[in-house]
Amino acid sequence: MTQTLEVNRVQLSGQLLSVQPVRYTPAGIPVTEATLGHHSEQREADLKRQVTCEVPIKALGNLAHQLAAATIGTSLKATGFIAAKSLKSRQLILHLDTIEF
């Protein structure tokens, strides 16, 4: 029996660096994109490592309005899944299921 691995869950905390205004899909669903700045200290091979990155995030529906209303610099915890940004761009983007401010 072949087992497929389908886990795609990400939880990341950081500060809101930028946020775009809400726009609407052709189906009328609100959507916005933003950038989350993350900084932490992690352990890798029993060594401390400073991790700093900027992650593109995307929210749809009510989450889009919540994210768009947030102030730049706000701390948040984002949970969701990663996917390609579009069919033409294979860049990853974090699609949000929940936001905690």
DSSP for the chain reads: -PPP-----EEEEEEEEEEPPPEE-TT--EEEEEEEEEEEEEEETTEEEEEEEEEEEEEETHHHHHHHHSPTT-EEEEEEEEEESSSS---EEEEEEEEE-
In degrees rounded to 5, what are phi and psi of residue 72?
-55, 135
Q: Which pLDDT score, from 0 to 100, does residue 4 have? A: 74
pLDDT over 70 for what percent of the chain?
A: 97
Q: Which pLDDT score, from 0 to 100, does residue 2 have? A: 61
Write the pLDDT tens digit of every residue in 75-93: 999 999 999 999 999 999 9
pLDDT at 8 exceeding the cut of 70: yes
Write the pLDDT tens digit of every residue in 21-41: 999 999 999 999 999 999 999
Pick the CATH number of 10-100 from 3.40.30.10, 3.40.50.720, 2.60.120.560, 2.40.50.140: 2.40.50.140
The CA R_g of the chain, rounded to the nearest whole Å, is 15
Give the integer Cα–Cα distance in Å for 3 and 54. 33
